[in-house]
Amino acid sequence: MIYTPQKGETILSEVKVSSDLAAEPVSLAALKLHLKVANTADDDLITNLGIAARESLEQYSGLSFGIKTLVAYYETYGQNVTLPYGPLDSITSVVTKDADNTATTLTADSDYYLKGSEYPVFWFN
């Protein structure tokens, strides 16, 4: 069965992290203290498990636990578009593509407007 979006329906197809957190919210030292690990043999493993846990919690909660740059791709979009992973610090650009794959960069407060920052939504003119 092939799904056909309804007119005005927004479908998020992919979110890519183009730059991740500069530092993890839970340090290696805090993780090791919690796990009662004193040696350094498994530091890489513990660090990677901490990152995986943070990423899973971000995906589950829809929140970002620090400043990062995301690129969101939508198959279709309606008048209102909810952005993934709040809170929002800033929008670098909004680009639409037409049926011929021609890109158009939209202008804030003219072509689209932002509402809220915790769970941000923008809407088109």
E-state strands within the chain: 11-19, 69-76, 80-82, 95-97, 103-105, 112-115, 121-124
- pTM of the predicted protein model: 0.72
Domain assignments of the chain as residue spans, ordered by start: 1-14+74-125, 21-67
pLDDT in the model for residue 98: 80
pLDDT for 24 equals 95
Residue 122's pLDDT band (boundaries 50, 70, 90)?
low
pLDDT 10s digits, 50-93: 999 999 999 888 888 988 888 888 777 777 777 778 888 888 88
Q: For residue 60, give the 3-state DSSP assignment.
A: helix
